[in-house]
Amino acid sequence: MRRTTANSELARLRGYRTRPERDLSVAADLDRLVKDATRRSKAVGGIGRAWDATVPEALRARSAIVTYRAGVLTVRCADAAARFGLDRFLRSGGEAEVARLAPAALKRIKLT
Protein backbone atom coordinates (compact mmCIF):
# COMPACT_ATOMS: atom_id res chain seq x y z
CA MET A 1 0.00 0.00 0.00
CA ARG A 2 2.82 2.35 0.76
CA ARG A 3 4.44 1.58 -2.61
CA THR A 4 1.24 2.37 -4.52
CA THR A 5 0.89 5.67 -2.75
CA ALA A 6 4.52 6.52 -3.48
CA ASN A 7 4.05 5.67 -7.18
CA SER A 8 0.93 7.77 -7.44
CA GLU A 9 2.67 10.66 -5.69
CA LEU A 10 5.62 10.33 -8.05
CA ALA A 11 3.29 10.29 -11.05
CA ARG A 12 1.53 13.37 -9.73
CA LEU A 13 4.82 15.21 -9.27
CA ARG A 14 5.99 14.22 -12.75
CA GLY A 15 2.85 15.82 -14.08
CA TYR A 16 3.93 19.14 -12.62
CA ARG A 17 7.47 18.93 -13.94
CA THR A 18 6.68 18.20 -17.55
CA ARG A 19 6.00 20.95 -19.98
CA PRO A 20 2.62 20.93 -21.69
CA GLU A 21 2.50 19.98 -25.34
CA ARG A 22 3.07 22.94 -27.59
CA ASP A 23 0.14 23.98 -29.70
CA LEU A 24 1.50 23.68 -33.22
CA SER A 25 -1.77 24.51 -34.90
CA VAL A 26 -2.27 27.81 -36.65
CA ALA A 27 -5.82 28.25 -35.35
CA ALA A 28 -4.98 31.14 -33.02
CA ASP A 29 -3.05 32.95 -35.75
CA LEU A 30 -5.86 32.41 -38.23
CA ASP A 31 -8.46 33.68 -35.77
CA ARG A 32 -6.42 36.84 -35.23
CA LEU A 33 -6.00 37.34 -38.99
CA VAL A 34 -9.72 36.82 -39.62
CA LYS A 35 -10.65 39.36 -36.93
CA ASP A 36 -8.17 41.87 -38.33
CA ALA A 37 -9.37 41.31 -41.91
CA THR A 38 -13.01 41.65 -40.84
CA ARG A 39 -12.30 44.90 -39.01
CA ARG A 40 -10.39 46.33 -41.96
CA SER A 41 -13.01 45.12 -44.41
CA LYS A 42 -15.71 46.96 -42.49
CA ALA A 43 -13.66 50.15 -42.41
CA VAL A 44 -12.55 50.00 -46.05
CA GLY A 45 -15.94 48.74 -47.19
CA GLY A 46 -17.73 51.73 -45.72
CA ILE A 47 -15.12 54.12 -47.02
CA GLY A 48 -15.33 52.38 -50.39
CA ARG A 49 -19.07 53.05 -50.50
CA ALA A 50 -18.43 56.70 -49.59
CA TRP A 51 -15.73 56.85 -52.30
CA ASP A 52 -18.08 55.35 -54.90
CA ALA A 53 -20.88 57.74 -53.97
CA THR A 54 -18.67 60.84 -54.13
CA VAL A 55 -15.97 60.45 -56.78
CA PRO A 56 -17.04 60.90 -60.42
CA GLU A 57 -17.16 57.72 -62.53
CA ALA A 58 -14.38 58.84 -64.89
CA LEU A 59 -11.94 59.28 -62.00
CA ARG A 60 -13.17 56.25 -60.08
CA ALA A 61 -12.55 53.97 -63.08
CA ARG A 62 -8.89 55.05 -63.16
CA SER A 63 -8.22 54.63 -59.44
CA ALA A 64 -8.44 51.93 -56.77
CA ILE A 65 -8.49 51.98 -52.99
CA VAL A 66 -5.41 50.20 -51.69
CA THR A 67 -5.50 50.50 -47.89
CA TYR A 68 -7.05 52.32 -44.99
CA ARG A 69 -4.87 52.58 -41.90
CA ALA A 70 -4.84 55.04 -39.02
CA GLY A 71 -7.22 57.43 -40.74
CA VAL A 72 -5.25 57.56 -44.00
CA LEU A 73 -6.89 56.23 -47.14
CA THR A 74 -4.36 55.25 -49.80
CA VAL A 75 -5.62 55.34 -53.39
CA ARG A 76 -3.61 54.07 -56.36
CA CYS A 77 -4.05 56.01 -59.60
CA ALA A 78 -3.64 54.49 -63.05
CA ASP A 79 -1.54 57.36 -64.42
CA ALA A 80 -0.46 60.95 -63.81
CA ALA A 81 -3.55 62.37 -65.47
CA ALA A 82 -5.83 60.40 -63.16
CA ARG A 83 -3.79 61.49 -60.17
CA PHE A 84 -4.00 65.14 -61.22
CA GLY A 85 -7.76 64.88 -61.76
CA LEU A 86 -8.32 63.21 -58.40
CA ASP A 87 -6.10 65.75 -56.68
CA ARG A 88 -8.14 68.62 -58.15
CA PHE A 89 -11.39 66.90 -57.22
CA LEU A 90 -10.31 66.17 -53.65
CA ARG A 91 -8.98 69.70 -53.09
CA SER A 92 -12.21 71.24 -54.36
CA GLY A 93 -14.26 69.65 -51.56
CA GLY A 94 -14.29 66.00 -52.57
CA GLU A 95 -12.10 64.92 -49.69
CA ALA A 96 -14.39 66.60 -47.15
CA GLU A 97 -17.42 64.94 -48.76
CA VAL A 98 -15.81 61.48 -48.66
CA ALA A 99 -14.83 62.06 -45.02
CA ARG A 100 -18.37 63.15 -44.19
CA LEU A 101 -19.89 60.00 -45.71
CA ALA A 102 -17.24 57.58 -44.40
CA PRO A 103 -18.17 55.52 -41.32
CA ALA A 104 -14.57 55.55 -40.03
CA ALA A 105 -12.51 58.62 -39.19
CA LEU A 106 -10.73 59.84 -42.32
CA LYS A 107 -7.84 62.23 -41.74
CA ARG A 108 -6.52 62.41 -45.27
CA ILE A 109 -6.42 60.73 -48.67
CA LYS A 110 -3.03 59.81 -50.07
CA LEU A 111 -2.71 59.37 -53.83
CA THR A 112 -0.03 57.05 -55.25
User: Which of 36-40, 41-45, 92-96 comes out lowest in average pLDDT?
Assistant: 41-45
Q: How far apart are CA 95 and CA 108, in angstroms?
A: 8
Name the region of 36 (left: φ>0; alpha: ψ -120 to 50; beta: rest): alpha
- What global pTM score does this model have? 0.63
Chain CA centroid to CA 66, Å: 11
Query: Confidence class of residue 109 from pLDDT cuts 50, 70 and 90?
Result: very high
In the predicted structure, residue 1 carries a pLDDT above the cut 60: no
Please state the domain extents for the chain: 27-111
Query: Confidence class of residue 57 from pLDDT cuts 50, 70 and 90?
Result: very high
Q: Span 27-111: which CATH code? A: 3.30.300
